[in-house]
Amino acid sequence: MTDTGSWREELVAERHQKDGFMAHHPESPFVSGRVPFHELKYFPPDPRYRVRAKLERVTPPEEAYLRTNRDGQAVMRYLGDLSFSLNGHPLRLRLYHAGEGVGASVFVPFRDATSGGESYGPGRYLTLELNESDDYELDFNRAFNPYCAYTDDFECGFPPAENDLPVPIRAGERVWAAERNPRTPSSVVLERVRRATRGPTAKGASRRPARRATGSPARRATGGARSRSARSGRTAPRRRRARARARG
């Protein structure tokens, strides 16, 4: 791990850079979705939320399906569980790979005791680079919201029940706007169904199809996640197949 001073400076710089990306870049969900931008909100940097984790692999990796905000499924490869301890609590998180074209980028969706209140209800994400040692630093200060936290134009995968942490993670990105903070993944889908049963949209309104991120393989791994040097514009895994509707 880098020393705390350098880590804090790097984290603050990344957050400023991400604000610039979100405000001006054509691939930003705010720019592409014509959503008025205001600065993203974060918990203060806290080194207590930087922890070491060990990956306990499943062999062979298993195909997995994450429910999405459009009541579809994001197809993943479940690689194993990250085992770690946070504030004295032994915890585990499932780790996923998004398939061909994403290189060594892996994806950790999670919810915690702040979800639906201080942080985005359907969950937040971390990305890592897969390594041979299976040892990782989990820095929850770099947890980020999916694009669907800002606009309905994008499709996002939700964390599985196994990735609901029973502790508060007061680190990383906070909820962007109270009116866009459903309490649970299920409430997102229910709200979408409710809107769909209202009938035609109001006069002058338009229905946009779900958007999917473009760009480098590293970004496609999480549908918009950029490298750590940029830390800009992240969302759920890119490679999706329109298979069966979500089960349960």
**pLDDT tens digit sequence for 62-91:** 999 999 998 889 999 999 999 999 999 999
Task: Give residue for tokens 């969706």.
Answer: 109
Kindly report the number of other CB atoms within 10 A of residue 69's CB atom: 24
DSSP element (H, E) containing 50: strand 50-67
pLDDT at 127: 95
- Considering only 63-67, 195-199, 238-242, which range has the smallest mean pLDDT? 238-242
pLDDT digits (tens, 9 = 90+) for 18-53: 999 999 999 999 999 999 999 999 999 999 999 999
Residue with tokens 């969900």: 29
d(CA 158, CA 69): 7
Rounded to whole angstroms, the Cα distance separating 102 from 99 reads 6
How far apart CA 112 and CA 89 sit, in angstroms, is: 13
β-bridge partners, 81: 56, 94
**Banded pLDDT at 4 (limits 50, 70, 90):** confident
Helices (H), 150-231: 185-196, 217-220
Helix (H, G, I), strand (E, B) or coil at 4: helix
Helix (H, G, I), strand (E, B) or coil at 166: coil
Given a cut of 70, is residue 200 above it in pLDDT?
no
203: number of CA atoms within 13 Å, CB side? 0
Q: Look up residue 105 and give its two tokens.
A: 């980028």
For 210-218, what is the mean pLDDT? 40
**pLDDT band at residue 243, thresholds of 50, 70 and 90?**
very low
Check pLDDT > 70 for residue 11. Answer: yes
Please state whether beta strands 50-67 and 135-139 pair in parallel, antiparallel, or not at all (unpaired): antiparallel
In angstroms, the CA 139 to CA 126 distance is: 8
Q: Cβ-count burial of 48 within 10 angstroms (0-12 exposed, 13-18 middle, 19+ buried)? A: exposed
